[in-house]
Amino acid sequence: MNAMLRLVGWVLALALVVLPIVAVLNGWVGASQWPLTKLRVTGQFERVDGALLQKTLLPYAQHGFFAVDLAAAQDAVSKLPWVERAEVRKRWPDVLEVTVSEHRPFARWGDDLLLSQQGKLFPAKGIQVPKGLPQFGGPESRVSEVVELYNQSRELFAPIGLDVRDVELDPRGSWTLGLDNGARIVVGRNEARARLGRFVRLLPQLLAQQAQMLQRADLRYTNGFALTWAPMPAPVAVPQQQGQS
């Protein structure tokens, strides 16, 4: 009987020590004694919504210094629009600190994604997409190849005054480019850069011989190209102002 009483007493004493620690770590008590009262944000960003960032972190800060779930807070911030990477820390005695790296948009990808300058795809939903971005498309596993051909083709077309506005790689591995003059260039699957190089060398001569505008070029031929031409748009008549008498 005495042994049982001693065991019960020991368990109660242990509980009195352990329960307060557990309570503090879980935020049952201590949020008022050790509150997180300051939010410190570091990192250069232009598009991340500061008010939304604060609103996202507030529920985690309310648990107090010892009970804040840093991993969950970091995950929540990482899911905000424009956030590429986030790191959340706490600084004694009352600071919740977050470092944010922002996506820098490089191109559109398909209908629902953007491609960052760091080569990462991220959702475009809820984002005001900057104007003038090129349009890319293709399997997400081949992002680097799409960017590489885009850069190469821009270098090829730039000396003749044309720019590449979109690049598409279809599921069969065939390339298609869109130029800023509206022309579509079907490149095919093999030797894309070499085919484009041959085409660009002849393009100024081809354009000079035509009174029409190039609509489509198919480069999937061994010894030539298939070209489709369209009439030049009619000039817009500008009404002349009548002179006052």
3-state helix, strand, coil in the chain (%, to 5): 35, 25, 40
Residue 198 is assigned to a structural domain of this protein:
yes
Banded pLDDT at 237 (limits 50, 70, 90): low
Single pTM value for the model: 0.74
Q: How many CA atoms lie within 13 A of 125 on its CB side?
A: 4
Domain with residue 42: its CATH number is: 3.10.20.310
State yes or no: pLDDT of 55 exceeds 70.
yes
Quick one: which of 40, 144, 124 has its CA closest to 82? 124
Cβ–Cβ under 8 Å, residues 77 and 57? yes
Q: Tens digit of pLDDT for each residue in 72-84?
A: 999 999 999 999 9
Domain with residue 173: its CATH number is: 3.40.50.11690
Q: Tens digit of pLDDT for each residue in 98-127?
A: 999 999 999 999 999 999 999 999 998 878
Cβ–Cβ under 8 Å, residues 107 and 148? no
Residues 163 and 216 in one domain: yes
| CB atoms inside a 10 Å sphere around CB 189 | 12
For residue 160, give its domain range. Answer: 134-230
